[in-house]
Amino acid sequence: MSTLNSLFFLCRRDVLIAFRHRQQALNPLLFFVLVCLLFPLGIGASADLLKAIAPGTIWIAALLAVLMSLDSLFRTDFEDGSLELMILENQSLTLLVATRVFAHWLMTVLPLLLLAPIMAVALGLSSNVLIILLTSLLLGTPVLSFVGAIAAALIIVIPHNGMLLALLVLPLYVPALIFGTSAVNNAALGISPEGPLYILAALLVLSLTLSPPAIAAALRTGVSQ
């Protein structure tokens, strides 16, 4: 089987599995909305204040939703042995892993982008900024998925690892968060958001190219234990 074919099959399989477990794919969305809801409740409903924190709120909610979904990335495959088969397969594990993370992003993170404008409007962000918010999330959330996948692979042998995962992942999420929110903030202030968006795109390229080998190395270590 050619490489492209097997990557396509893996992607289709992952998407199908996600479809069959719709409830599980829905959970990050609910989580995202709930976190967005907590901010006005905790900070107060003053419109100016909410408008000022809206970009940060949406970004942090998206970031936490990605974090919560990471553990499912390799866990079931590791436990039922299909990960071992993937490694034994005569294909580059790096590419397989990249496909897996992409499929995961497609099914669990991309739907967030549909909800983000609604939450942004609810928080009082003006509608001409929405397109920048969506662009920043479109560029930034794959960074979160790929970087987070490294940590998910590193803790594959440890059951019940939620806190450790957060400790490993959150410091690495800082650059994406900073540039994502500052692009939106710039747009809201009427300054050009291009600079942060370009840097976000650079982070995306870096994480797409550098993280799959690290994920593959970590999974190999985990399986060979």
Partner 1 sequence: MMQWFHRMASPAWFYRFSGKLIPFLILTFTPLLIIGLYGGLVTAPSDYQQGDAFRIIYVHVPAAWMSLFIYIVMAVYAVITLIWRIKLAEILLISSAPVGVGFTILALATGSLWGKPMWGTWWSWDARLTSELLLLFLYLGVIGLYRAIEEKRTASRFVSILVLVGTVNIPIIHYSVEWWNTLHQGSTITLTEKPSMHIDMLIPLLMMAIAFKVFYGISLLIQARAELVEREFNSRWVRELVEENSDG
One of 106, 110, 172, 201 touching partner 1 (CB under 8 A)? 172
One of 58, 154, 187, 197 touching partner 1 (CB under 8 A)? 154
For partner 1, which is the closer residue by CB, 20 or 160?
160
Using rule CB under 8 A, residue 137 touches partner 1: no
Dihedral class, residue 160 (left if φ above 0, else alpha if ψ from -120 to 50, else beta): left
Dihedral class, residue 3 (left if φ above 0, else alpha if ψ from -120 to 50, else beta): alpha
| Closest distance to partner 1 from the beta carbon of 150 (Å) | 6
- Between 180 and 209, how does the x/- string for binding to partner 1 read (CB under 8 A)? --x----------------x---x--x---
For partner 1, which is the closer residue by CB, 32 or 179?
179
Query: Is-contact 98 212, C-beta < 8 A?
Result: yes
| Closest distance to partner 1 from the beta carbon of 213 (Å) | 10
Query: In 3-state terms, what secondary structure has residue 137?
Result: helix
For partner 1, which is the closer residue by CB, 113 or 178?
178
d(CA 145, CA 183): 20
| Closest distance to partner 1 from the beta carbon of 220 (Å) | 9
Instruction: At 80, list the tokens.
Output: 């039922």
Nearest to 207 by CA among 131, 158, 130, 151: 151
Using rule CB under 8 A, residue 171 touches partner 1: yes
Using rule CB under 8 A, residue 66 touches partner 1: no
d(CA 220, CA 89): 13
Using rule CB under 8 A, residue 174 touches partner 1: yes
For partner 1, which is the closer residue by CB, 54 or 153?
153
d(CA 23, CA 35): 18
Angle at 37 between CA 34 and CA 39, to 5 degrees: 120
Q: Which residues bind partner 1 (CB under 8 A)?
A: 150-151, 154-155, 157-158, 161, 164, 167-168, 170-172, 174-175, 178-179, 182, 199, 203, 206, 210-211, 214, 217-218, 221-222, 225
